[in-house]
Amino acid sequence: MPRKSIRIQARKQKEEQLHIPDLENVSQIPRSKKRKADESEALQDLQLAGVDEPRKKQRLERVKEPVKNAALSPRTPTCHRPLHLRPDTLPQSRLPNIRWADNKQLWKSMHDRPTSHYCKESLFSDIQKYITPSMRTILIDWMMEVCAAYNLHRETFCLSVNFTDRYLSRTKDVQKQQLQLIGVTALFVASKMEEIYPPRLKEFADMTDGACSEDTIMEFEIILLNTLEWNLVSMTPNAWLSVYMQIMNSESWEQNETESASEVDDNFVMPQFRQETFKDVSTLLDLCYLDYESSLFEPSVMAASAIYYEISTDVALQVSGNYFECSRNNS
């Protein structure tokens, strides 16, 4: 007899010994006596408790019904939707006494810059349809290269980024073909404000490889200025970083409370901080500019956060006048 038939007969004999029921008749298999006893005991307990079977079914049906007039849970902000932390009270002034201005009044005017000088809403939520965050990142990176090629000041770059983001936040559905025109025009305006010898218009047009002509940049300059309502002077994160670093390295910072209130720090106007430390913190801010959500935060908060990360928490709180503490209390 072949081996295959021997295996088949052995399998049939094993099935007959086990008495495996048919799958079609599984529903007809009797339940165990123990399970029946458990169910009867459960029904008796319900009857003793005064709960009958119809009421039990009715209760289960009510649970399945949707809840009406339920209060919605409050929407909590996440890391992708940053908070606009702006304390109601002005942070404590950390400026020393100076001869040419009242330090408290100067500190107040620096914080009282119009909030329109930074974006209040995300650029890509409902404003821009054709421009993606990656396109903006490529533009900002190209603007960095232009500033490096012409040795422009860091403040020129910061202002140009500020102008670009504010224009995108106020103009809906900008075409992607206009993105480089916006960036080069913002650089052109910022360089005329900050540079002693700004590059000529032709040089900016050449940096676009023929994408933007001189006449196009001049025409768009008027559109950009009108959109920004000619509000061009702004305290950038770079400007706030210079102030914070100067406070951290000033004589009044070292002497702290031992110095009399009438003492004047004549050296405060001259840079007293190490350029290496300033460059390290500025590099971190440059990386922040590549993220479009950086425009949602106030420049003073960005500068203090960079010091918080690069130097220490205590220094960031002290040079900013406990700005983070005020924000935490008002959040």
Residue whose C-alpha is closest to residue 96's, from 242, 250, 244: 250
Task: State the amino acid at position 189 in one-letter form.
Answer: V
Helices (H), the chain: 3-18, 33-48, 53-64, 103-111, 133-149, 154-170, 179-194, 201-207, 214-227, 237-248, 251-255, 275-289, 299-310, 313-319, 323-330
Distance CA(245)–CA(243), nearest Å, equals 6
Longest dimension (CA), the chain: 117
Q: What is the DSSP letter of 69?
A: S
Q: What is the pLDDT of residue 91?
A: 59
CB 193 within 8 A of CB 232: yes
Taking the CA atoms of residue 191, residue 197, residue 200 and residue 203 in that order, the dihedral angle to the nearest 10 degrees is -80
pLDDT for position 176: 86
Distance of CA 244 to the CA centre of its chain: 22
pLDDT of amino acid 95: 63
pLDDT at 202: 93
For 70-127, the DSSP string reads PPPPPPPP-TTS------SSPPPP-PPP-SSS-HHHHHHHHHTS-GGGS-SS-TTTTT
Cα 44 to Cα 32, 36, 39, 47, 59: the distances in Å are 19, 12, 9, 5, 18
The pLDDT score that the predictor gives to residue 187 is 95
Cβ atoms of 158 and 114 closer than 8 Å: no
Residue 67 pLDDT: 36
Please give the Cα distance from 234 to 116 (Å, whole number): 10
Confidence (pLDDT) at 85: 45
Rg for the chain (alpha carbons), in Å?
Answer: 35
Q: What is the pLDDT of residue 43?
A: 52
Name the CATH superfamily, with its identifier, for domain 102-115+235-248+270-330: Cyclin-like (1.10.472.10)
Q: Tokens for 283?
A: 């590099």
Question: How many other CB atoms sit within 10 Å of the CB of residue 129?
Answer: 11
Measured CA to CA, the distance from residue 318 to residue 57 in angstroms comes to 66
pLDDT digits (tens, 9 = 90+) for 14-33: 656 555 444 444 444 444 44
pLDDT on residue 205 = 93
What was the pLDDT predicted at 247?
Answer: 79
pLDDT digits (tens, 9 = 90+) for 292-307: 888 778 888 888 888 8
- Whole-structure pTM value: 0.64
CATH of domain 133-228: 1.10.472.10
Question: 102-115+235-248+270-330 and 133-228: same fold?
Answer: yes
pLDDT at 157 (0 to 100): 94
The pLDDT value given to residue 242: 83
Delimit the domains of the chain by residue range.
102-115+235-248+270-330, 133-228
Name residue, tokens 């202002």: 159
Residue (of 110, 197, 185, 190) closest to 154 by Cα position:
190
Positions of the chain with pLDDT under 70 = 1-8, 11-125, 250-273, 322-331
pLDDT of residue 194: 92
CB 303 within 8 A of CB 118: no
- Give the other-Cβ count within 10 Å of 54's Cβ: 8
